[in-house]
Amino acid sequence: MPQISPNAMVEKSAELADDVRVGPFAYIGPAVRIGPGCVIDTGASILGRTTLGAKCHVFPFTVIGADAGQTGNGECFIGQANSFREHVTICAGLKAPTRIGDDNLIMIGCQIGPAAVIGDHCILTNSTQIEGRSQIDDYVGTSAFTYVSAGVRVGSYTYIAGYTGVEDHAPPFAMVQGCPARVRGVNSNKLRRCGFGDDDIRALKEAFRDLFNGAADAADPQVLRRMEADASLNPHVRRVVEALRERVGEDSRK
């Protein structure tokens, strides 16, 4: 039997796994499914058609699955072992679901918009604002007061510095900073911690130096073309080039 505080409100049709704990004054909506080992703390609300994977911890006053129209039809798919700290808001998507992967740490006061897609192992620091339809890949780190604009993709292993407004796609493996955001270098500490070799990191550093040449707003198209043609390109650098190509392609369509 789930351990539900007598002061909590759990709708009858909600599906809770056997060892779920629900704290006082929490609310679990009628179309919610909660996996084994989850802890829902005081005053948290889980709304809409939300599915929570195993071992998620929802801290006090967090709201998951809110939708602006209060229709209760928004969808939210959340993976395993995520930690949602105090006062987090995860909006549910009405046209497409909001998706959050596994093993993320979403800190106090973060807000994630409708239909956003978050990968695995991300750490979103306090007050990070992710707008709707944006995509955050795996192992992304953000710092305080980061803002990611709607429909923007942030590549994996990228770190976004504090107070940064990301308004265009950020490539993978990068350190991004400023308003508007610029690529400032390679997130080498994170890469080293995640087991990347020195050669790969060096290749990425050289590629970023060539592409962005200090603090340019966008990648140099000539260098991009040269790198694309290079058959012996480091596979990680190729990922960067592909991500940038995607962005350049979008720009040319405008």
Partner 1 sequence: MTGLAVIREIAPSARVANDAVIGSFCVVGPHVTIGPGTVLIRRVVVLGHTTIGSANIVEEGCVLGAEPQDLKYGGSPTLLIIGHRNRFGPRVTAHIGTEDGGCLTRIGNDNLLSDGCHIAHDCYVEDKVHLGRNVLLAGHVLVETGAVVGDLAGAHHFTTIGRYARVGPRTPVRRDVPPFTHFYSQDHERIPPAVRGVHQEGIAAAGLAVAEEAELRKALKELFDDETALQTKIEQLVSMGVEGSALALCEFCQRSLQGVYGRYRELLRGQPPPEAAKFMPPQEQVNIRRPSS
Host H or E run for residue 228: helix 221-229
Binder to partner 1 among 96, 179, 194, 216 (CB under 8 A)? 179
**Least gap, CB of 192 to partner 1 (angstroms):** 16
CB of 87 vs partner 1, minimal distance in Å: 6
Residue 105 touching partner 1 (CB under 8 A) = yes
Spell out where 17-66 has E strands.
21-22, 27-28, 33-34, 39-40, 45-46, 49-52, 57-58, 63-66
Sole binder of partner 1 in the list 107, 112, 160, 219 (CB under 8 A) = 107
Q: End-to-end alpha-carbon separation of the chain, Å?
A: 56
Of the residues 49, 55, 85, 133, which one makes contact with partner 1 according to CB under 8 A: 85
Which one of residues 51, 126, 149, 156 is an interface residue with partner 1 (CB under 8 A)?
A: 126
The 20-39 site mask, x for binding partner 1 (CB under 8 A), equals ---xxx--------------
Q: Report if residue 43 touches partner 1, rule: CB under 8 A.
A: yes
Question: Does 127 sit near partner 1 (CB under 8 A)?
Answer: yes
Going edge to edge, which strands form the sheet with 182-186? 3-4, 21-22, 39-40, 57-58, 83-84, 105-106, 123-124, 141-142, 159-160, 174-177, 182-186
The three-state secondary structure class of 139 is coil
Q: Which residues bind partner 1 (CB under 8 A)?
A: 5, 7, 23-25, 41-43, 59-61, 85-87, 105, 107-109, 126-127, 144-145, 162-163, 178-179
